[in-house]
Amino acid sequence: SIASADMDLNQLEAFLTAQTKKQGGITADQAAVIAKFWKNHRIKIHESLVNQSCWENVLKNMNWRVDLKSQSRHIDQINTPVAIVEMELGKNGQ
C-alpha cells in the first residue's frame, strides 16, 4: 500500500499509526522500522515499480511546433495551421 500510493512522510505516518491501532496490526517498533526503511529507499522502490510497469518502448524526447502557411495558390489554404510533432522512442532502460 505504501509503495503503490508513493506515500509522502505525512501519509506514511498516518498510515502506520492506523496500522498500529488496528486489531491484529503491527507494533510501534515494526512501524518505526517500516518508516525508516521507506524514508531511506523510497526513490529506489518507486523507480523499480515504474520500470516494472513499462513493457516496451518509452518516450525519450519530444519536440513540436505549429506552422502557418503564408503563401498558397488557393486563398483558403493561407493561415492554415499545421502541427509538426517529433517523438523519439527507445527501449526501456536504454
All three cell numbers of 25 = 496490526
For residue 84, the model assigns a pLDDT of 94
Containing 64, the helix (H) or strand (E) segment is: strand 57-68
pTM here is 0.54
Q: What average pLDDT values come out for the chain (94 residues) when binned by 10 residues?
A: 89 94 91 94 90 79 89 77 90 67
Q: Are 3 and 43 in contact (CB under 8 A)?
A: no
Cα–Cα distance, 56 to 90 (Å, whole number): 8
For residue 79, which of 88, 89, 70 has the smallest C-alpha distance? 70
